[in-house]
Structure 1
Amino acid sequence: MTLTIQQYHPDLKRVWNDFIDHSINGTFLLHRDFMDYHHDRFKDHSLLVFNEDALICCIPAHTVQDSIYSHRGLSYGGLILNKISAQNIDLVLELFVEYVKGHAFAKAELQPPPLSYNTINSEIAKYLKNYGFKINRVLHNQYVNLKEEVNVSPKKSIGYRNGKFDGLSIHKGSDFKSFWDFVLVPQLDSRHASKPVHNVEEIELLHSRFPEQIIQHNAWRDGELLAGITFFIKDKVVKSQYASSSLKGMKTDAVGFIYMEAMKEFKEKGFSIMDYGPVNERDGAINEGLLRFKKQLGCVEEEWKRWVIEL
């Protein structure tokens, strides 16, 4: 093999996107139309690895001073592979580290997708460890395997039996504004003094670019919005990107209702994983209440690791 590596340039957008579409572990988050919506916030330094003239690996990345990171405007990045590069992870990784050294970066950080998404991510983790990368963050990610029986706690499903869920209806589509304006933003502000990563204009823009991959599920009762979940569809994985409910919605466990109904829907459609996201606070501590909520919905845990090498 004759491998070369080069920095991404907008002229390579179509080549990049075509590769992501046919890669083993890439998702729509790694399309340039998604990555570039906040290009002004990050100094992009994504990389492409070629075997002669054939692209075999994409590495979404950006730089801050003398360090290169898996693109932190995304949930993950790392080595995005096809069949050829999957058989030569060691060579690709060696070339990446040589590039980092050659450009005088002091540190390189890689955040692969969760292991549950694809078995190749476990292989990548093994090579990172063997090459000398160290773990510098561990998130406790929660997911359910939709190919297996999901053990939802009776404490969650009781709403079907005691009438708590009566009258709830789920509207699916693109009504992000109602959810953002009346539920998500007010609840994040009052409970956590924070804001969603995407504002409503950004999520609507991304939905316009990826209408099949970004879907809103809102729970209503008697004309009142009680809760909502924003789902990101990543091949056979569905990820709850945002989930929140009003105070009245909390009393009826409207978010739990949406999750349970969504699990049935996505299971019937042949999805393999439903990713509920990590339960860690910003300082890494576990939010015990959130963990309990997700466990009651049948989630199992995986460690989602970020890797770093200092040069």
Structure 2
Amino acid sequence: MLTIKKYSAEYKKNWDELVAHSRNGTFLFFRDYLEYHKEKYNECSFLFFKKGKLLAVIPGNINEQIFYTHEYLTYGGFIIDNTLKTADILLLFELLNKELRVLKIKAVVYKPIPFIYHQIPSQEDLYALFLLKAKRLACDISSSVFECKKIKFSNSRKDGIRKANKAGLVVEESDDYAGFWKILAANLQKKYSTLPVHSLDEITYLQNHFKQKIKLFVVKQKAEIVGGTVLFITGKVVHVQYIAANLEGRVTGALDLLFSELINTVCVSCEVFDFGKSTEQAGTVLNKNLIFQKEGFGARGVVYETYKYTL
């Protein structure tokens, strides 16, 4: 019989061990990642046990009588042990919903973990959401390259690579987050009047805690950074968290060279190279220029969805 407990700090080790050995978890669900900005939200996460053994967890927060899984994560939901089956997942939802009703929660916003992050198939939660008559709130399109089935680069991307090589650009791993953040912040401010989701202090803190999971690769012209990307390495998936190039980098094809090196050399041991979303406003607006660039590297569509159901 499965039982539920609300998360508290005494369960940190148990939580992290479950995530590490789960069939659909990534390092974004480790407590050190979840809690780097814990002052921003009202924590409400749960653990699920069977005969004293932890078999599932769900990270969450509460905002205005809505339970989110998680409001500050790109994706979330139940992180589960290999032994759990469909009936068990339905029971997890039943236990969670019962507990949330006690807390006077009126609705749940659930962000399923995209299939590319699953170690083995783990979409039982989508079936549970169907039974709960959940409404899809968002459908964002990301673009991924599968190592086992690569598509050739487009001519425009090949032209960019030739420009970069002619200009003498070089790709290298770096720890100069401050230098890259100047380019990234300037681009986001100019294009969207916004700032990176992570501040420089936050990304530096996270990289110090997850040195093998968060990496920066830059393109240099001589000693100057002209472009770069921050990668989140989540087991089988390399996810592009940030991309940016300055004017010189854009003119000389810096990003074309960068992603050619990453896809074809640096990241070949990973099964999926995910460029991230190219949509805004819950997926209703497609950034055609952005997805054109990603698809030029042979990337194709993977959706990141968000659902809501009432209690």
Find the counterpart in structure 2 of residue 236 from structure 1: 236
Matched to 1:298, the amino acid is: G
Distance 1:46 1:104 in 2: 15
Counterpart AA for 1:25 = N
Find the counterpart in structure 2 of residue 178 from structure 1. 179
Q: Structure 2 regions of 5+ residues with no counterpart?
A: none
Structure 1 residues without counterparts, runs of 5 or longer: none
**Partner SS, residue 178 of structure 2:** helix
Identity rate, percent = 27
1:27 is aligned to 26
- After TM superposition, the score normalised by the length of structure 2 is 0.94
What secondary structure does 1:132 align onto? Answer: coil
Residue 122 (structure 1) shift = 3.1
Corresponding residue for 1:78?
77
The verdict on how the C-alpha distance between 1:256 and 1:113 changes in structure 2, with shifts beyond 3 A counting, is farther
Q: CA deviation at 1:86?
A: 4.2
SS in 2 for 1:120: coil
CA distance in 2 between counterparts of 1:169 and 1:161 reads: 13
SS in 1 for 2:76: coil
1:165 to partner: Cα distance: 5.0
The alpha-carbon deviation at position 171 of structure 1 amounts to 2.0
Partner of 2:55: 56
The one-letter amino acid of 2:106's match is: A
* Equivalent residue number for residue 277 of structure 2: 278
- Taking the aligned partners of 1:74 and 1:144, their CA distance within structure 2 comes to 22
1:206 is displaced (CA, Å) by 0.5
- Whether the 8 Å CA contact 1:172–1:217 is kept in 2: the answer is yes
When residues 163 and 247 of structure 1 are mapped into structure 2, their CA distance, relative to the original with a 3 A threshold, is closer
Q: Is the 8 A contact 2:161 2:254 kept in 1?
A: no
Question: SS of the counterpart of 2:104?
Answer: coil
Q: Which one-letter code corresponds to 1:288 in the other structure?
A: K
Amino acid in structure 2 at the alignment position of 1:221? Q
Residues 147, 267 of structure 1: 8 Å contact kept: no
Q: After TM superposition, give the deviation of residue 6 of structure 1 in Å.
A: 1.4
3-state SS of the aligned residue for 1:239? strand
Greater CA drift, 136-145 or 113-122: 113-122
Which residue of structure 1 lines up, in the alignment, with residue 195 of structure 2?
A: 195
Counterparts of 2:65 and 2:238, CA distance in 1: 35
User: Counterpart of 1:102?
Assistant: 102
- After TM superposition, the score normalised by the length of structure 1 is 0.94
What residue is the counterpart of 1:15 in the other structure? 14
Question: Offset at 1:201?
Answer: 1.0
Equivalenced residues, count:
308
Equivalence for 2:125: 124
* TM-aligned CA deviation for residue 303 of structure 1: 2.3
Matched position secondary structure for 2:148: coil
1:286: how far off?
0.6
Give the Cα separation in 2 of the matches to 1:200 and 1:95: 39
Q: Which moved more, 1:83-92 or 1:297-306?
A: 83-92
> Does the residue aligned with 1:83 lie in a helix, a strand or coil?
coil
Q: After TM superposition, list the pairs within 5 Å mapping 1:260-271 onto structure 2.
A: 260-268=260-268, 270-271=269-270
Mark the CA change 1:44 to 1:20 in structure 2 (over 3 Å): closer, same or farther: same
> How far is the alpha carbon of 1:67 from its aligned partner?
0.8
Counterpart position of 1:136:
137
- Measured in 2, the distance between the counterparts of 1:135 and 1:35 equals 25
Residue 39 (structure 1) aligns with: 38
Shift of 1:162: 5.4
In the TM superposition, residue 266 of structure 1 has moved relative to its aligned partner by: 4.3
Letter of the structure 1 residue corresponding to residue 10 of structure 2: D
